């Protein structure tokens, strides 16, 4: 069985390819195709030319570039289902490619050089690579990445809010649990300073959902002894914006996703 290898370096809107044999000799020089129906059709023509010899086993490697490679990956994955094409497809970790290029001491890195390096890395490490893994979980990976971003932003905002509250509302920090209950954030939005909270009536505060009426007088009374007596409009605005953002980031995802 004759083995050929395709190295693919996907970028935004296009991809660079090169085909080498098992001895790392060039079978087809670098070529670049657009990530469009026309580009995919041209690539299909190249693949058909490769498989004019029925005894060819084609290895294809795409470097993971945060999603730019997905259309090309799906293109090759669809070909796997056709018995005419004997293809082993993989998505490579960019960290491994980076260290390989660094160890090879290639000083000028272009898309063409990256495609060659990806192909060389594939040839030398094919026994360690997992091939033909389904892409059905790709959407879930994107969903998980989105959730992690929201969680990170929410944590940063909560930490910033705590530092600001330490100046203006130090007596309320004991009620500022890690979960940042929504009643607490709404209380801060309505009464951004200790002075305003101390003057608020119990009836007005009790309109905030889920706040315990038995604790209202206690919280309001302690704010009378706040150390901070200044008037910083900038600090008040910061607290207001941060609290609003935390509420917005607290997105509840559905337990089940319908098809």
Q: What is the model's pLDDT at position 175?
A: 63
* DSSP letter (8 states) at residue 256: S
Q: Which regions of the chain carry the CATH code 3.30.420.40? A: 2-135
What tens digit of pLDDT does each residue of 32-74 get? 999 999 999 999 999 999 888 778 899 999 998 888 888 999 8
3-state DSSP call for residue 145? helix
3-state DSSP call for residue 14? strand
Query: What share of the chain has pLDDT > 70, as a percent?
Result: 80
Say yes or no to pLDDT of 227 above 60.
no
Query: What share of the chain has pLDDT > 90, as a percent?
Result: 28
Q: What is the model's pLDDT at position 258?
A: 45
What tens digit of pLDDT does each residue of 65-111 get? 888 888 999 899 888 888 788 999 999 988 998 888 888 877 677 88
**Superfamily in which the 2-135 domain is placed by CATH:** ATPase, nucleotide binding domain (3.30.420.40)
Q: What is the model's pLDDT at position 59?
A: 94
What are the distances in angstroms from CA 7 to CA 166, 225, 229?
55, 69, 66
Q: List b or e across 10-23, with b for residues whose CB sees 16 or more CB atoms inside 10 angstroms.
A: beeebbbbbbbeee
3-state DSSP call for residue 122? helix
Q: How confident is the model at residue 15 (pLDDT cuts 50, 70, 90)?
A: very high
Compute the average pLDDT of residues 191-201: 75
Q: How confident is the model at residue 163 (pLDDT cuts 50, 70, 90)?
A: confident
Specify whether the CB–CB gap between 88 and 57 falls below 8 A: yes
């Amino acid at each position: 069985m004759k083995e050929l290898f395709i190295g693919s370096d996907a970028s935004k809107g296009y991809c660079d390819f090169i085909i080498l044999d098992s001895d790392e000799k060039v079978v087809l020089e670098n070529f670049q195709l657009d990530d469009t129906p026309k580009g995919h059709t041209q690539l299909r023509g190249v693949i058909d030319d490769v498989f004019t010899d029925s005894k060819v086993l084609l290895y294809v490697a795409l470097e993971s570039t945060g999603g730019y490679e997905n259309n090309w990956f799906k293109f090759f994955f669809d070909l796997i289902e056709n018995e005419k094409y004997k293809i082993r497809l993989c998505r490579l970790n960019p960290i491994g490619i980076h260290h390989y290029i660094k160890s090879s001491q290639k000083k000028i890195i272009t898309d063409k050089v990256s495609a060659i390096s990806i192909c060389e890395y594939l040839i030398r490490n094919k026994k360690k690579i997992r091939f033909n893994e389904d892409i059905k979980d790709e959407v879930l990976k994107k969903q998980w990445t989105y959730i992690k971003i929201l969680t990170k932003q929410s944590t940063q905002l909560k930490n910033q809010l705590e530092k600001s509250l330490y100046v203006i509302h130090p007596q309320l920090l004991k009620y500022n649990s890690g979960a940042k209950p929504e009643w607490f954030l709404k209380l801060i939005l309505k009464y951004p300073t200790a002075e305003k909270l101390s003057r608020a009536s119990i009836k007005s505060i009790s309109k905030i959902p889920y706040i315990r009426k038995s604790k209202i007088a206690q919280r309001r009374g302690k704010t009378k002894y706040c150390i901070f007596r200044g008037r910083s409009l900038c600090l008040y605005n910061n607290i207001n914006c941060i609290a609003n953002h935390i509420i917005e980031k607290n997105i509840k995802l559905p337990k089940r996703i319908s098809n």
